[in-house]
């Protein structure tokens, strides 16, 4: 009966943002504001990389805080990490900064509830354990692991749910003292009230309840004195005054214990919002870093892995093994825009209406709400992400594109020849922006992510170092006996072309085709290969102009010289 306390009385506050209990007469924001300012948190472990799914959870937490004018807190779950926390955290902070998810309290930021590292908050957990012990809401358990395992087996054999034996509960104070003095290991367990239920009104899942009679007593403190995640989280969330716990659905089951803990600690539980997780493309299983090899074979991810193997080595960043598509850093290093990633992530499990797909960061802040998060899991879709990305790329000015591409050109050592004297500057020098701008203009929408600029490397390499695409070369040059003669004549034609600009060139080439009674493609294709090594690419006449007359002629001659007499 007790459990009623958790529910109706708190319903208004607990169900903030939940459409099921939403009273249309009261705006949601008002509802939240009437209770207390929203505080959300994201609590990453120092794993050495930022997972794309975790990033989406963090985004939702951040958006809810920003939308409600509340605060977003970063707390580090480093309870079982030893050293190198700093270096394992760096990529995580980097991901947050890259996407522009700033935190109001946390590492490097401080705040009223410092420290924000769980490893430094042990005194709080200790105090909470003692409080619970003193109140008889938790107990010291001397049961050995062997006994517990045996009980478990027994329960399984009898096909009844396993429950803690609670044998230690019948120990007298004297016996306990003896046990402790003799160094008998013990843990602290919460005394679960078995005669009732716990329930929450989840902001996305609605009413969920569990029967306490089916729950073993959870360990709060290990025999070595350290604390369990479930317990530390509750103590922290309560102490940090978190109002909305927004986290992945896998934590839903944990919530039963956590709510019990809030009650035992005489704290009112926050609103929970268990968001659906992201699954691997074409799968219903959680997208995880595990089974990288399996993910590599996933048809929906293969393109991303393959692209990594093409791009990252050129940037001296390893390959798809070092940076895989489940890591946020993959997208950063690949030259995605924060706007593209944010847009894509936000639309996984959340939508505004029946037609809006494009959201800027500010749009998201304005429109985001817990009530429009849906319940079923969402598959990661690399194609759709790329289409968001392409959209945001198309919104950039030419200068922004130049600045975005520059680091890639630099890292790939494509512009080294421009600076024979030494150091390559951090940003593209003024006297090179004109040409690069023309290149980018001609390249157009083919630039979807900044690293796509590497596909224009034919424009940067030496004329004699050009690599010809094998298939195209065979088909259009080797197997076309007239190709050589055409190219020879064309070389003479182009050498005479003045001015060397697109309209003039186009006119000259058309005239060339006509007077010789050729088909346009017979001329165009071999020319393309001579200039760029490929048959696909940007406009041919732009290509000619970009390369300039000298380099065009030099490339033509180079190709002709390779052909048999």
Residue 399 binds RNA (CB under 7 A): no
Residue 387 binds RNA (CB under 7 A): yes
Whole-Å CA distances, 26 to 10, 33, 63, 510: 16, 11, 21, 70
Residues in contact with RNA, counted by CB under 7 A, come to a total of: 83
Angstrom distance (rounded) from CA 363 to CA 467: 45
Q: Give DSSP secondary structure letters for 72-105.
A: EEE-B--TT--S-HHHHHHHHHHHHHHHT---SB
Which span sits near RNA by CB under 7 A: 167-175, 234-242, 250-258, 302-310? 250-258
Q: Which is nearer to RNA, 99 or 529 (CB)?
A: 529
DSSP-derived letter for residue 106 is B
Residue 237 binds RNA (CB under 7 A): no
Residue 235 binds RNA (CB under 7 A): no
Residue 223 binds RNA (CB under 7 A): yes
Residue 480 binds RNA (CB under 7 A): no
CA angle 484, 485, 490 (to 5 degrees): 100
Residue 273 binds RNA (CB under 7 A): no
Tallying the residues shown for the chain, one arrives at 565
Q: Which of 496, 315, 320 is nearest to 413 (CA)?
A: 315
Residues 44-73 vs RNA: string with x where CB under 7 A?
-x----------------------------
Instruction: Count the neighbouring beta carbons within 10 Å of the beta carbon of residue 102.
Output: 13
Tracing tokens 């080797």 back to the chain, one arrives at 478
Please identify which residue in 35, 239, 254, 267 interacts with RNA, judged by CB under 7 A.
254
Please identify which residue in 429, 434, 444, 548 interacts with RNA, judged by CB under 7 A.
444
Contact 547, 459 (CB under 8 A): yes
Residue 182 binds RNA (CB under 7 A): no
Residues 510-529 vs RNA: string with x where CB under 7 A?
----------xx--x---x-
Query: Which phi and psi (to 5°) does residue 279 adopt?
Result: -105, 165
Indicate which residue of 131, 197, 286, 289 is catalytic: 289
Residue 355 binds RNA (CB under 7 A): yes
Please identify which residue in 130, 195, 250, 266 interacts with RNA, judged by CB under 7 A.
250
Residue 172 binds RNA (CB under 7 A): no
DSSP-derived letter for residue 212 is G
197 assigned to active site: no
324: helix, coil or strand? coil
Residues 98-137 vs RNA: string with x where CB under 7 A?
----------------------------------------
Angstrom distance (rounded) from CA 277 to CA 375: 9
Binders of RNA among residues 71 to 90 (CB under 7 A) are: 77, 79-80
Q: In sequence order, what are the residues at sequence separation of 6 or more whose Cβ sits closer than 8 angstroms to the Cβ of residue 156? A: 162
Please identify which residue in 253, 321, 474, 507 interacts with RNA, judged by CB under 7 A.
253
Instruction: Point out the residues that are catalytic.
Output: 289
């Amino acid at each position: 009966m007790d459990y009623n306390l958790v529910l109706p009385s708190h319903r208004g506050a607990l169900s903030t943002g939940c459409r099921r209990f939403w009273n249309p007469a009261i705006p949601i924001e008002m509802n939240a504001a009437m209770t207390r300012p929203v505080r959300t948190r994201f609590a990453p472990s120092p794993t050495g990389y930022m997972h794309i799914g975790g990033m989406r959870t963090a985004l939702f937490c951040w958006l809810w805080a920003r939308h409600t004018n509340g605060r977003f807190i970063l707390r580090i779950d480093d309870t079982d990490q030893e050293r190198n926390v700093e270096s394992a955290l760096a990529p995580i902070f980097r991901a947050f900064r890259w996407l522009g998810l700033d935190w109001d309290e946390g590492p490097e930021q401080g705040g009223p509830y410092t420290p924000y590292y769980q490893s430094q908050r042990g005194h709080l957990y200790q105090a909470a354990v003692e409080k619970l012990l003193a109140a008889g809401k938790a107990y010291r358990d001397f049961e050995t692991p062997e006994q517990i395992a045996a009980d478990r087996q027994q329960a399984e054999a009898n096909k009844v749910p396993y429950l803690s034996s609670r044998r230690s509960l019948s120990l007298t104070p004297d016996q306990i003292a003896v046990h402790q003095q003799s160094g008998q290991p013990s843990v602290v367990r919460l005394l679960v009230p078995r005669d009732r239920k716990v329930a929450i009104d989840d902001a996305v899942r609605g009413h969920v309840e569990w029967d306490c009679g089916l729950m073993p007593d959870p360990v709060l403190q290990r025999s070595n004195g350290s604390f369990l995640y479930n317990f530390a989280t509750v103590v922290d969330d309560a102490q940090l005054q978190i109002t909305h716990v927004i986290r992945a659905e896998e934590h839903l089951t944990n919530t039963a214990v956590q709510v019990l803990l809030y009650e035992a600690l005489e704290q009112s539980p926050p609103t929970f919002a268990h968001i659906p997780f992201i699954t691997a493309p074409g799968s219903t299983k959680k997208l995880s870093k595990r089974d990288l090899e399996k993910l590599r074979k996933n048809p929906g991810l293969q393109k991303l892995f393959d692209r990594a193997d093409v791009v990252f080595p050129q940037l001296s960043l390893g390959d798809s093994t070092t940076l895989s598509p489940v890591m946020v850093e993959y997208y950063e290093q690949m030259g995605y825009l924060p706007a593209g990633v944010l847009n894509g992530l936000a639309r996984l499990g959340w939508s505004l209406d029946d037609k809006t797909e494009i959201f800027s960061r500010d749009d998201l802040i304005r429109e985001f709400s817990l009530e429009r998060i849906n319940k079923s899991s969402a598959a990661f879709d690399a194609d759709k992400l790329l289409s968001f990305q392409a959209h945001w790329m198309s919104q950039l000015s030419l200068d922004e594109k130049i600045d975005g591409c520059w680091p890639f050109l630099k890292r790939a050592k494509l512009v080294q020849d421009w600076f024979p004297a030494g150091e390559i500057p951090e940003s593209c020098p003024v006297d090179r922006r004109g040409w690069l701008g023309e290149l980018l203009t001609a390249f157009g929408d083919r630039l979807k992510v900044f690293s796509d600029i590497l596909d224009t490397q034919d424009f940067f390499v030496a004329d004699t170092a050009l690599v010809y695409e094998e298939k195209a070369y065979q088909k259009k040059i080797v197997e076309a006996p007239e190709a050589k003669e055409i190219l020879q004549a064309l070389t003479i034609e182009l050498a005479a072309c003045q001015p060397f600009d697109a309209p003039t060139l186009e006119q000259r080439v058309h005239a060339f085709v006509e007077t010789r009674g050729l088909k346009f493609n017979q001329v165009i294709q071999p020319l393309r290969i001579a200039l760029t090594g490929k048959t696909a690419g940007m406009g041919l006449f732009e290509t000619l102009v970009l390369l300039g007359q000298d380099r065009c002629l030099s490339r033509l001659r180079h190709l002709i010289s390779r052909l048999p007499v």
